[in-house]
């Protein structure tokens, strides 16, 4: 089940890594904890200490790190409605709406419902445009004017709502720490291990094209077709437990993120397990998103891992592949991995006092004591393949990022 995650953002640089060949993995922002994600076309919205919008190569399109509203509370859930509005659920900060220009803070509304100091774990939208929020003290329905609260007094199994999904018939499915609650607009139906659920600790829910409900729990995965339950649990060859997230791809494959066992892919017959050995930056996966190209994005305790199954080149972009946030002043290093020249792009009038590169033996192979301009190109043609540390000194503080030379 979901747990409160404490974010620690440090000035240390971010590491990016790519495997050659296809399919391939690329890792971004490996010193950051990623909590949630939501796809929008060819871009991904990422929730952590702040909100980022990334393109397919990991370039930051929008960064709210300096926004006084968003940067004050970690983001625990993100969803994009049919109008393109982005909705952010925060930890102890209410709900936020971003229409592309303006941010609306619903602290006033949540305060009226005594929900100001609660975490928004999940967000979903119904066919009528109503917004459904899962919190620590029940479910909130928002019709853009009025708020309606549902709790155990109405029929919920538990007031802590980990996940929400809405089926084609308009039924709302709520995953809780005590089982599943279904709401058809009038009546409540509850499901637990007594009905067939593999475990009552339900963290995540997804509904496939056939209308099957998939529940990720602490004890495994449950599939419910409306009548029958099918449970998938740990076997001698595979660990299926502690499911954190679910996403469904266009081919009907189910992708399950886990706490501690990487990612599981299920094609309705076979299970495939991906871990750090394959390219994941961490075996603790908090969230999954699939972009318009079919790339799988996995948020984890150590950044983002992108898995390319469809031949989209993620690593050879000539735009920025790796971002270092230095107290809100971004520095981008690209392309990653480096084959010949490393580009160091300084943005927002970032003026470091020095830039250097150190090899794996601790030897300084590049030094620039007086960087000038916003774009610096380092010729690494004559340098051996391997890991290098880029060191940047700004206002007396040293920051670093690991890059790969191939």
In terms of domains, do 185 and 262 share one? yes
**Does residue 3 form part of some domain?**
no
pLDDT at 312: 57
In terms of domains, do 251 and 369 share one? no
> Maximum Cα–Cα distance for the chain, whole Å?
71
**Does residue 377 form part of some domain?**
yes
**Does residue 313 form part of some domain?**
no
pTM of the model: 0.73
The count of structural domains within the chain is 2
In terms of domains, do 105 and 174 share one? yes
The rounded distance, in Å, linking the Cα atoms of 11 and 380 is: 25
In terms of domains, do 103 and 21 share one? yes
In terms of domains, do 358 and 280 share one? no
Q: What are phi and psi of 70, to 5 degrees?
A: -75, -40
Q: What are phi and psi of 266, to 5 degrees?
A: -130, 120
Single residue among 284, 308, 332 that ends a domain in this structure: 308
In terms of domains, do 283 and 373 share one? no
Mapping DSSP to helix (H, G, I), strand (E, B) and coil, where does residue 109 land? Answer: helix
Domain extent for 327: 322-405
> Of 280, 166, 264, which Cα lies nearest the Cα of 213?
166
Q: Give me the CATH number covering residue 341.
A: 2.60.40.3080
The tens place of each residue's pLDDT in the chain, 406 residues long, gives 333 332 222 222 333 333 344 458 888 887 788 999 999 887 899 998 788 888 777 778 787 765 666 655 688 999 999 999 999 988 766 788 998 888 887 765 555 555 444 678 899 999 999 999 998 889 999 998 888 999 999 999 999 999 999 999 999 999 999 999 999 999 999 999 999 999 999 999 999 999 999 999 999 999 999 999 999 999 988 999 999 999 999 899 999 999 999 999 999 999 999 999 989 999 999 999 998 778 899 999 888 999 987 655 555 433 334 444 444 445 777 666 677 888 787 766 678 888 899 887 778 999 998 888 777 888 998 888 877 878 888 777 777 776 777 7
**Does residue 298 form part of some domain?**
yes
The rounded distance, in Å, linking the Cα atoms of 133 and 328 is: 30
pLDDT at 10: 26
In terms of domains, do 186 and 275 share one? yes
């Amino acid at each position: 089940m979901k747990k409160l995650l404490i974010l620690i953002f440090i000035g240390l640089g971010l590491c990016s890594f790519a495997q050659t060949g296809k399919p391939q993995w690329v890792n971004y922002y490996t010193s950051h904890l990623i909590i949630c994600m939501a796809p929008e076309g060819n871009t991904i919205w990422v929730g952590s200490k702040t909100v980022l919008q990334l393109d397919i190569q990991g370039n930051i399109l929008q960064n709210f790190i300096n926004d006084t509203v968003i940067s004050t509370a970690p983001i625990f859930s993100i969803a994009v409605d049919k109008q393109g509005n982005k909705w952010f659920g925060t930890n102890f900060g209410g709900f936020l709406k971003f229409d592309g220009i303006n941010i609306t803070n619903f602290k006033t509304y949540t305060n009226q419902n005594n929900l100001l100091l609660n975490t928004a774990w999940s967000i979903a939208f119904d066919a009528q445009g109503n917004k459904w929020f899962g919190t620590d003290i029940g479910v909130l329905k928002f019709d853009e004017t009025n708020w309606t609260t549902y709790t155990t007094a109405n029929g919920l199994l538990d007031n802590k709502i980990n996940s929400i999904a809405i089926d084609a018939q308009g039924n709302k499915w709520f995953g809780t720490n005590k089982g599943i609650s279904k709401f058809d607009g009038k009546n409540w139906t509850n499901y637990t291990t007594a009905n067939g659920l593999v475990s009552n600790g339900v963290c995540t829910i997804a509904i496939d094209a056939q209308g099957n409900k998939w529940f990720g729990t602490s004890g495994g995965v449950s599939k419910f077709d409306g009548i029958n339950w099918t449970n998938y649990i740990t076997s001698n060859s595979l660990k299926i437990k502690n499911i954190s997230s679910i996403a469904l791809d266009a081919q009907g494959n189910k992708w399950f993120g886990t706490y501690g066992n990487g990612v599981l892919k299920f094609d309705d017959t076979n299970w495939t397990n991906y871990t750090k050995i394959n390219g994941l930056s961490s075996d603790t996966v908090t969230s999954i998103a699939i972009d318009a190209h079919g790339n799988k994005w996995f948020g984890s305790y150590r950044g983002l891992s992108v898995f390319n199954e469809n031949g989209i080149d993620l690593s050879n972009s000539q735009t920025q592949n790796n971002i270092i946030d230095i107290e809100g002043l971004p520095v981008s290093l690209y392309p990653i991995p480096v084959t010949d020249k490393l580009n160091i792009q300084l943005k927002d009038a970032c003026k470091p006092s020095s830039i250097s590169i150190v090899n794996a033996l601790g030897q300084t192979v590049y030094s620039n004591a007086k960087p000038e301009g916003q774009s610096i190109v380092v010729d690494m043609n004559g340098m051996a393949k391997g890991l290098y540390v880029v060191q940047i000194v700004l206002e007396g503080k040293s920051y670093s990022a690991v890059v790969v030379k191939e």
